[in-house]
Amino acid sequence: MRYNPVTEEILAELKEIVGEKNVLSEKEKIEAYSHDETPKEKYARMPEVVVKPSSTEEVQSVVKLANRELIPVTPRGAGSGLSGGAIPEHGGIVLSVENMDEVIEYDFDNMMMVLQGGVITNNVQEDLAEEGLFFAGYPMSLESCFIGGNIAENAGGGKAVKYGVTGRYVMGMEVVLPTGEVMELGGKRVKDVTGYDLKKLMIGSEGTLGIVTETTIKLLPKPTKEVALLVLFDDPDTAISTVPKIMTETGIIPTGIEFMDRRSVQASCEYLNEHLPYQDCGAMLLIEVDGAEEEQVENDYFKIGEICEENGAQEVYVADNHTTRERVWDVRRNIAEAFMVVSPEQSLEDIVVPIASIPDLIPELDKLSEKYDIQIPCYGHAGDGNLHATLVKNPEHSMEEWYEIEEKCLEDMYEVTYKLGGTISGEHGIGSKRKKYFPDAVSETELELMKKIKKAFDPNNIMNPGKIFDLD
């Protein structure tokens, strides 16, 4: 596909639509829109222009113009993505929804709210807490990411074991299609089987099928008590083999079960100057339970903690107030940040396997670490079978060597993952980062069907082209 450049005339027209100050074209200003949270050196691409519409109508006008002139449009939320989704692969227009950050309606009778796509996920929580409600979509990046970005990636997070991922809470949305029409999908109806579920198709479509301008989300009563257990184990095997038992043997579904291997724990604790006795521990689990009754939550965490003790835990720490909970979650949340200090060259992966297969996955990762002579710290949402195994460049390798190792090691890692009934991304998406590996992750029939769907939505292939798969 050949795209047309953004000319002076087009710039003028864009300024006409969204206003002069919402069109950025100076290099220094648009640089920030050339990357997301994937390594810049490898994945960044400069847009030609960044536009920041403030309404659905403005989004429509921009998209219509782009479709008419054959200019690629890359929708962008907060840019916290980990698969290159918001990067303008083919230049053109980055359409940032950052100005669309209004709450349109609180509908407490229906326990729902309607908001624009650019609202920061955590801001929703703060408003709702006062009403005793919460939104159960909870990516770890919630202080920066946008609700629109969460929908586009169908984000998961630290509470998905009990609450599931973002998609479960999306009741309706307003979408601007690649051709510029507006479409309402779903609504406030709890049940709806009227035709194909296009809303579900949009969820997780990584901005390739349209732009989410508004959404209606379902809210839940906010649990009044949350307790986190930080459990230290001798080694990853013991920790991981405890994970399925936590649920099968107690009958309790925790909100989250997070896993951290020795390297992750050490890097993070050193980074945080945390003095927990982590030196002799080979892995940790962070398990959280919540509920409306203090006594119930206490019973639950005792049962879970005791299962951990029976399975050889070195120690079970109990964090049952805000301060201590933040302290233990900090260890989990700062792993990625801590490894940036150790080595900024890395590939943060997102493989997912059936939960019962995690114990088989860990030794395979160790083998790869040895084979390629790199560190592969591993942490993530063990309760969902979703692990962020991370390839970290060995400082002794040159960049060329590293890129070669990265590619080969990923092929091996994905191979192992498929064998265990898993796949290559649980929550971060394919984007541009994993595009190369995508055809192996799906059948040919499936891939062809996806391409046809893409063409039906986006005949000129202007909406976030170069993501997930390429059209022929």
Partner 1 sequence: MKIITPIKQVPETSNVKMDEETGTMVRDGVESIINPLDLYAIEAAIELKEEHGGEVIAVTMGPPSAEKAIKEAIAMGCDDGILLSGREFAGADTWATAYTLSRCIDDIGDYDLIFCGLQATDGDTAQVGPGIASFLDLPLATYVSSIEDVHIADDTTYTEPDENYIELERLLEEGYEKLRMPLPALITVVKEINFPRLPTLSGKRKARDKDVTPKNSEHIEMKEEYLGLQGSPTRVVNIDRPKVTRGGKMIDARDESKQEEAVEELINYLNANELL
Residues near partner 1 (CB under 8 A) = 224, 229-230, 275-276, 298, 301-302, 305-306, 308-309, 315-324, 326-328
The entry of ligand FAD, partner 1, none that residue 117 binds, CB within 5 to 8 Å by partner kind: ligand FAD
Q: Does 256 bind ligand FAD (CB under 6 A)?
A: no
Q: Does 352 bind ligand FAD (CB under 6 A)?
A: no
Angle at Cα 79 formed by Cα 132 and Cα 62, nearest 5°? 100
The entry of partner 1, ligand FAD, none that residue 131 binds, CB within 5 to 8 Å by partner kind: none
User: Nearest distance from residue 336's CB to ligand FAD, in Å?
Assistant: 6
Question: What is the C-alpha to C-alpha distance for residues 386 and 214, in angstroms, rounded to an integer?
Answer: 29
Q: Does 377 bind ligand FAD (CB under 6 A)?
A: no
Q: Does 258 bind ligand FAD (CB under 6 A)?
A: no
Interface residue with ligand FAD, options 91, 172, 207, 254 (CB under 6 A): 207
The entry of partner 1, ligand FAD, none that residue 326 binds, CB within 5 to 8 Å by partner kind: partner 1
**In terms of CB distance, is 269 or 352 closer to ligand FAD?**
352
Phi and psi at residue 131, in whole multiples of 5°?
Answer: -95, 0
Question: What is the residue type of 162?
Answer: K
**In terms of CB distance, is 302 or 418 closer to partner 1?**
302
Question: What is the C-alpha to C-alpha distance for residues 33 and 95, in angstroms, rounded to an integer?
Answer: 10
Instruction: Kindly list the distances between the CA atom of residue 338 and the CA atoms of 49, 335, 367, in Å, as whole numbers in the listed order.
Output: 34, 5, 24
CB distance 242 to 307 below 8 Å: yes
CB burial string 327-348: b at 16+ within 10 A, e below: bbbebbbbbbebbeebbebbbb
CB distance 85 to 434 below 8 Å: no
The entry of partner 1, ligand FAD, none that residue 275 binds, CB within 5 to 8 Å by partner kind: partner 1
The entry of partner 1, ligand FAD, none that residue 148 binds, CB within 5 to 8 Å by partner kind: ligand FAD
**In terms of CB distance, is 142 or 308 closer to ligand FAD?**
142
Q: Does 148 bind ligand FAD (CB under 6 A)?
A: yes
The entry of ligand FAD, partner 1, none that residue 451 binds, CB within 5 to 8 Å by partner kind: none
Question: What is the C-alpha to C-alpha distance for residues 167 and 155, in angstroms, rounded to an integer?
Answer: 8
Distance of CA 409 to the CA centre of its chain: 22
Beta strands 49-51 and 93-96 are parallel
Distance of CA 111 to the CA centre of its chain: 25
CB distance 62 to 176 below 8 Å: no
**Could you tell me which residues come within 8 angstroms of residue 398 by beta carbon, excluding any fewer than 6 positions away?**
none
Q: Does 53 bind ligand FAD (CB under 6 A)?
A: no
**In terms of CB distance, is 232 or 392 closer to partner 1?**
232
Give the N- to C-terminal CA distance of the chain in Å, as an integer. 9
The entry of partner 1, ligand FAD, none that residue 323 binds, CB within 5 to 8 Å by partner kind: partner 1
Which stretch in 206-214, 252-260, 405-413, 451-459 sits in contact with ligand FAD by CB under 6 A?
Answer: 206-214
Please give, one letter per residue, the 3-state secondary structure of 383-422: HHCEECCEEECCCCCCHHHHHHHHHHHHHHHHHHHHHCCC
Beta strands 93-96 and 73-76 are parallel
Question: What is the C-alpha to C-alpha distance for residues 29 and 32, in angstroms, rounded to an integer?
Answer: 7
The entry of ligand FAD, partner 1, none that residue 328 binds, CB within 5 to 8 Å by partner kind: partner 1
User: Nearest distance from residue 463's CB to ligand FAD, in Å?
Assistant: 9
Interface residue with ligand FAD, options 156, 172, 204, 465 (CB under 6 A): 156
User: Nearest distance from residue 306's CB to ligand FAD, in Å?
Assistant: 28
Q: Does 47 bind ligand FAD (CB under 6 A)?
A: no
The entry of ligand FAD, partner 1, none that residue 317 binds, CB within 5 to 8 Å by partner kind: partner 1
Q: Does 79 bind ligand FAD (CB under 6 A)?
A: yes
Residues facing residue 112 across a β-bridge: 107, 218
The entry of ligand FAD, partner 1, none that residue 321 binds, CB within 5 to 8 Å by partner kind: partner 1
Question: What is the C-alpha to C-alpha distance for residues 122 and 110, in angstroms, rounded to an integer?
Answer: 21
**In terms of CB distance, is 31 or 274 closer to partner 1?**
274
**In terms of CB distance, is 87 or 405 closer to ligand FAD?**
87
Give which of 27, 34, 174 is closest to 100, Cα–Cα: 174
Q: Does 52 bind ligand FAD (CB under 6 A)?
A: no
Q: Which residues bind ligand FAD (CB under 6 A)?
A: 36-37, 74-82, 85-86, 97, 117, 139-141, 145-146, 148-150, 152-153, 155-157, 206-207, 211-212, 336, 427-428, 464
